[in-house]
Structure 1
Amino acid sequence: MSPAPGRNTLGASTSPYLRQHADNPVHWQQWTPAALAEAADRDVPILLSIGYAACHWCHVMAHESFADLEVAALANAHFVPVKVDREERPDLDAVYMNATVALTGQGGWPMTCFLTPDGRPFFCGTYYPKATFLQLLSAVEETWRTRRAEVEQTSDHIAGELRAMASGLPGGGPEVTAGLCDAAVEAVLADEDTVHGGFGTAPKFPPSALLEALVRHHERTGAAAPLATAARACEAMARGGLYDQLAGGFARYSVDAAWVVPHFEKMLYDNAQLLRVYAHWSRLSPNALARRVSHETARFLLDELRRDGMFVSSLDADAAGQEGLTYVWSPAQLRESLGENEGRWAAELFGVSDAGTFEGGASVLQLRADPDDAARYERVRTVLRAARSTRPQPGRDDKIVTAWNGLAITALCEAGVALGDAELVDAATGCAEALLALNVRDGRLRRASLGGVVGESAAILDDHAALATGLLTLHQLTGEDRWLAAAGDLLDVALDHFADPEHPGRWYDVADDAEQLLLRPADPLDGATPSGASSIAEALQLAAHLAPAERALRYADAAYVCRGRVCDLPVGTAADLAAALRPSV
């Protein structure tokens, strides 16, 4: 066996997450043909670690294990260590997350997988503390060396099962009808958490696509129940700790069912989708909370996430190595910043107690009811924001992801209309201009860029679809044909390279001319963002109404066959339901 190369190569990456690991003693490489070839030449497994910059447990494992010399010695001697940013390479994340869930029954990040040199997984997991990880590295190395036939057999079996699972994913489904949508909405309404708002139990994620579908169903039918359900969820999220009561913007999810304690990272994709929902709610209801949260969430995007006209990916969950440090308060800290009287008033208003709602007796700020004195409330918020700005601040992932910027363009356009705020439409226009100038190379879209340097990863289906929807929305608002033309180019690429020609209505998440992985991902179910299939459904439906005749018929035909997945699993296909319920132009 030839010796392991003696360096970590992540410093040249366009991913902030990978750069966070550039100083690790582990000899991390990016996922490249050269890394796989090295594993084959050395005849060692690949140690694949997948995460993202705002992930708390990714930081924990990095500190405990990847910065540790003992771990690094084992990893470098017996493996080719490969780091992947799941946000930059969602195709790789999808393949190996499916393997992790199939093998362990659950997934999450950091994801830890051991692969054969040709990429077949044979052992997968998530976070491991240092002692367990050392044992795992030793066990895998010994198994690879002494029981190689079993490893090959296991990896062949897993790869075969993953391919079988992928080939069985559904495609278009039945024709979308009013009755089909009605039944899907009724199923959603029956699943409401009538105590705390929203759906399901802890951990509780913002159900953006479901809420959008409910609002649109109300617009289509006039039914009161869907809008009331959406309003209860929106109010509960906005009044709880999920929402930043001082500066606006939503955290990733709540660890409890009552929306009190968030997992503190703030993602562009969550805030873009929620801005759209709250803007639509504010347009349909004379609700001051809806309008305020819409305005503050838009300001959060513009003030905290905008860079070079575009929008960066996230703010970290941690600051100075401590989760939530920037955001939580004790009664004493409130009094220190505001004085005795105002401090006590703020503690009562924001639900800050000696017992606390978070670790160490600290509390996440909530606003269960609007204060009687609005001017006093704004003075207190201003003082607390200033005090909070002196604390350690969360890191920012400055990576520009195409799909998420597409979501932001659409949301800012629609919020600009709902709020009567031309600045938001101007921001959407600037984002579209910058994104097309930077992330399109040789006529093809790229997934991400950083600091004005575009990454090598090809765009996937949701990049094309989300950006196309944003451009089409800009065209509707401005009447400028350049946005319609650019959207049409993206959709033509999507139809030519992502549609399954043998199964109309089925879409692959990666292009037919992209890197060939263990399998070609084609998942129609939504995750934290709408699936590529549901995203392209909305884009094609909108384009069919707006495009010139030579393109409109093609888009209408494609939209017709890709919008029928909403009856069997309305929660998992909520974005499809929202697309089906989108009002006609």
Structure 2
Amino acid sequence: MPNRLADATSPYLLQHADNPVDWWPWGPEAFAEAERRGVPVLLSVGYAACHWCHVMAHESFEDEAIAAYANEHFVAVKVDREERPDVDAVYMEAVQAATGQGGWPMTVFLTPDKEPFYFGTYFPPEPRHGMPGFRQVLEGVTAAWRDRREEVGEVAGRIRAELQERARVYGAGAGVLPAPGEAELHAALLELGRGFDERRGGFGGAPKFPPSMTVEWLLRHHARTGSAAALEMAARTCDAMSRGGLYDQLGGGFARYSVDADWVVPHFEKMLYDNALLLRTYLHLWRATGDARARRTALDTADFLLRELRTPEGGFASALDADSPDPVTGKPAEGAYYAWTPEQLTAALGPEDAALATGIFEVTGTFEHGSSVLQLLTDPEDPETYERIRTRLFEARAERPAPARDDKVVAAWNGLAIAALAETGALLERPDLVEAAERAADLLLAVHLTADGRLLRTSRDGRAGANAGVLEDYADTAEGFLALYAVTGEAEWLDLAGGLLDTVLAHFTDAASGALYDTADDAEELIRRPQDPTDNATPSGWTAAAGALLGYAAYTGSERHRTAAERALGVVGALGTRAPRFIGWGLAVAEALLDGPREVAVVGPAGDPATAELHRTALLSTAPGAVVAVGEAGSKEVPLLADRPLLAGRPAAYVCRHFSCDAPTADAAELAERLG
């Protein structure tokens, strides 16, 4: 019989709707029930594409005896971390502080007042490899709650106080810090270089996550300063990732991370946010260098997004699962869809083409049973043979059972995809990608944006979820709308971005310090208000908001928005010199601030080839954070275009900083030189 999760919109919660555990969704009703019964709360947090979440579900949450014990002694609450990143962030901070590590599934025991007192991640059903069994953990927590309640309360109170103290680091009492300047950015580059893996690309050791935001910063720093070291780190990292097993050599798109330092063995989840960010990263690498493989990687990743993650409503699904049924055994196995043996290559291609394939792709036998993902050995000398082999392998793989898809739409991640697809479509002359970006944006407007201008975080099948948008939803959606305006010249997108950013200023910003919070001032109250300026797998909401605020100010001349961006960047100077890998997007926004950013106004009749040429030239600029406005001469809709006449009757481009412009030019080559 289904439990209380049966009506959820989250695919992750629905995966647990038939568990014998009597799960509750997060909400006041669950904590009121714990208070009524006098029992603690068992909080389990995960997401639909999480391999170890599936393992713990099969081993423990589907076990009748374990479920019966949990139901008797706890109120069990299940949370999708992608729906409620605020809940996840608060308790993950506690887990990491207490255990020195974190991950999913996250298992936390709470008082009915939401205070945590015991923590963990995955627990096996029986003791294993030094870990206690989950039944042991449940029994131990029950005994502590029953026999040492006062001690449990003291621990919970101390943890809550520590979390609230941590919040003051970036909060209202921190003061206003200056935005980083040349010295801080140079020091950040030197610090980043110390952790650069010169042999394998990337930063640090295993596991290696794709450093999208860091690479974007490096490309901007190179564009502004000419730093060869910055470009080399960016290019070598992108080259290594696109050759390795992290990248799907047949279908495009990237896995979530590499478990090794060589980018060989991926953790097979494919996340929308990674692929949206990496699509933009490879596009910008191509824009900076003309690298052909970066261009191909960008296009293949864009095609992956449209083919495998686009929903019927026009949005983009959150993820593809790590696991899929093994073609032989039928049992779920991580990476079964993507791995090959030499024998499977021969069966799909025949002996002759299989021999050619092993000269193009490395098949190492890295995994169990001698299978492995494909890695690109060398750029193909014969593109026709490469494409023929690649297409046949892709078609053969398509006959395997495919990974499941988490088809909920997350506003923030769709904002990232909108920005990436709009730019890629414009720069690589793929109007279908721009159209896909517009459709996704239309879905956010129709389903996620409420009548009072607030965002809802998720939807599924065109039906909005109940959870309020967090800072990253507003910031990344605004970023997507700004990119759509730059590409299409439709002023509605700029206006919509401005509305979202006004909400950021009104509800997410501390007026005294300019610090930003991850949740709105009228959001559900947790044990502390989450706030983190550092990047994780995506740009932090804080620095994403700073970038969108700065871009909007460049279009409109709004000192209010520019000042807010500058104040938000103060934390980047403090953190960037010590840990640049973890605040890459903030450093990228700081590069834009130091460069102006450049403001390009292109005026001319719509449909005029000369207008189109100037517009495309402006979009191809590598100037950090440059904004591009295009429209008819005399347009009043966008302040940057106002009072910009044609040049002797011809379409013209104006390059400005702070609305102070150079002389206009009608020559695309001259415009390119000015923006170079």
TM class by shorter-chain length? Answer: over 0.9
Measured in 2, the distance between the counterparts of 1:106 and 1:180 equals 30
Offset from partner CA, 1:489-515 (integer Å, 9 cap, x none): 1001110000012322x1110000010
1:260 is aligned to: 264
2:337 is aligned to: 326
- How much does 1:184 deviate? 1.6
1:40 correspondence with 2:50: no
1:144 is aligned to: 145
Offset from partner CA, 1:475-533 (integer Å, 9 cap, x none): 122221111111111001110000012322x1110000010001100111110111111
1:302 correspondence with 2:306: yes
Measured in 2, the distance between the counterparts of 1:371 and 1:555 equals 48
What are the residue-to-residue correspondences of 1:214-363 with 2, within 5 Å? 214-307=218-311, 308-320=313-325, 321-353=332-364, 356-363=365-372
One-letter amino acid of the counterpart of residue 42, structure 1: R
1:396 correspondence with 2:422: no
- How much does 1:27 deviate? 0.6
Between 466-475 and 175-184, report the one with greater CA deviation. Answer: 175-184
Offset from partner CA, 1:380-422 (integer Å, 9 cap, x none): 1111111111111100000100000111111112212331222
What secondary structure sits across from 1:341 in the alignment?
helix
Which sections of structure 1, spanning at least 5 residues, go unmatched?
A: 1-5
1:457 is aligned to: 467
Q: Kindly report the root-mean-square deviation, in angstroms, between the aligned alpha carbons of the 2 structures.
A: 1.3
One-letter amino acid of the counterpart of residue 335, structure 1: T
- Counterpart of 2:495 (choices 485, 489, 498) is 485
Number of aligned residue pairs: give it.
Answer: 574
1:432 is aligned to: 441
Offset from partner CA, 1:246-265 (integer Å, 9 cap, x none): 00000000000000000000
What secondary structure sits across from 2:521 in the alignment?
coil
Measured in 2, the distance between the counterparts of 1:173 and 1:399 equals 38
1:191 correspondence with 2:206: no
2:385 is aligned to: 376
Q: Is the 8 A contact 2:362 2:374 kept in 1?
A: yes
Measured in 2, the distance between the counterparts of 1:384 and 1:492 equals 49
Q: TM-score, normalised by structure 2?
A: 0.83
Between 178-187 and 132-141, report the one with greater CA deviation. Answer: 178-187
Offset from partner CA, 1:82-132 (integer Å, 9 cap, x none): 000000000000010011011111000000000001100000000000120
1:469 correspondence with 2:479: yes
What are the residue-to-residue correspondences of 1:4-23 with 2, within 5 Å? 8-23=3-18
Measured in 2, the distance between the counterparts of 1:252 and 1:179 equals 34
What are the residue-to-residue correspondences of 1:142-181 with 2, within 5 Å? 142-169=143-170, 173-181=177-185
What are the residue-to-residue correspondences of 1:405-554 with 2, within 5 Å? 405-443=414-452, 444-504=454-514, 506-547=515-556, 549=557, 552-554=558-560
- How much does 1:335 deviate? 0.6
Q: Is the 8 A contact 2:105 2:121 kept in 1?
A: yes
Measured in 1, the distance between the counterparts of 2:382 and 2:359 equals 14
2:646 is aligned to: none
Between 487-496 and 365-374, report the one with greater CA deviation. Answer: 365-374
Q: Is the 8 A contact 1:203 1:256 kept in 2?
A: yes
Measured in 2, the distance between the counterparts of 1:112 and 1:176 equals 39
Offset from partner CA, 1:341-398 (integer Å, 9 cap, x none): 2123223421114xx1122211110002112222111111111111111111100000
Q: Is the 8 A contact 1:533 1:562 kept in 2?
A: yes
One-letter amino acid of the counterpart of residue 63, structure 1: H
1:86 is aligned to: 81
Between 400-409 and 413-422, report the one with greater CA deviation. Answer: 413-422
Q: Is the 8 A contact 2:543 2:586 kept in 1?
A: yes
Q: Is the 8 A contact 1:54 1:397 kept in 2?
A: yes
Q: Is the 8 A contact 2:178 2:566 kept in 1?
A: no
Offset from partner CA, 1:558-583 (integer Å, 9 cap, x none): 01111131334322211100111232
What secondary structure sits across from 1:491 in the alignment?
helix
Q: TM-score, normalised by structure 1?
A: 0.96
One-letter amino acid of the counterpart of residue 161, structure 1: E
Offset from partner CA, 1:325-350 (integer Å, 9 cap, x none): 00000011111111112123223421
- Identity of aligned pairs, percent? 54
What secondary structure sits across from 2:76 in the alignment?
strand
- Counterpart of 2:93 (choices 78, 93, 98) is 98
Measured in 1, the distance between the counterparts of 2:315 and 2:490 equals 20
Measured in 2, the distance between the counterparts of 1:61 and 1:359 equals 22
2:663 is aligned to: none
Q: Is the 8 A contact 2:213 2:539 kept in 1?
A: yes
Q: Is the 8 A contact 1:254 1:262 kept in 2?
A: yes
1:130 is aligned to: 125
1:3 is aligned to: none
Q: Is the 8 A contact 2:359 2:377 kept in 1?
A: no
One-letter amino acid of the counterpart of residue 75, structure 2: V
Q: Is the 8 A contact 1:472 1:487 kept in 2?
A: yes
Measured in 2, the distance between the counterparts of 1:197 and 1:368 equals 16
One-letter amino acid of the counterpart of residue 310, structure 1: G
- How much does 1:7 deviate? 6.1
Q: Is the 8 A contact 1:280 1:418 kept in 2?
A: no
Measured in 2, the distance between the counterparts of 1:164 and 1:502 equals 19
Measured in 1, the distance between the counterparts of 2:467 and 2:474 equals 14
1:559 correspondence with 2:565: yes
What secondary structure sits across from 2:78 in the alignment?
strand
What secondary structure sits across from 1:292 in the alignment?
helix
1:55 correspondence with 2:53: no
One-letter amino acid of the counterpart of residue 213, structure 2: A
Measured in 2, the distance between the counterparts of 1:391 and 1:7 equals 30
Measured in 2, the distance between the counterparts of 1:553 and 1:165 equals 31
Measured in 1, the distance between the counterparts of 2:470 and 2:392 equals 44
One-letter amino acid of the counterpart of residue 558, structure 1: A
Structure 1 residues 260, 86: closer, same or farther in 2, change over 3 A?
same
What secondary structure sits across from 2:79 in the alignment?
strand
Q: Is the 8 A contact 1:331 1:344 kept in 2?
A: no
Q: Is the 8 A contact 2:52 2:122 kept in 1?
A: yes
Q: Is the 8 A contact 1:282 1:418 kept in 2?
A: no
Offset from partner CA, 1:266-309 (integer Å, 9 cap, x none): 00000000001100111121221111101000101111111111
Measured in 2, the distance between the counterparts of 1:391 and 1:102 equals 42
Measured in 1, the distance between the counterparts of 2:151 and 2:181 equals 51
2:604 is aligned to: none
Offset from partner CA, 1:196-225 (integer Å, 9 cap, x none): 001110000000000000001111112222
Which sections of structure 2, spanning at least 5 residues, go unmatched?
A: 127-132, 326-331, 593-623, 628-676
Between 568-577 and 150-159, report the one with greater CA deviation. Answer: 568-577
One-letter amino acid of the counterpart of residue 561, structure 1: R
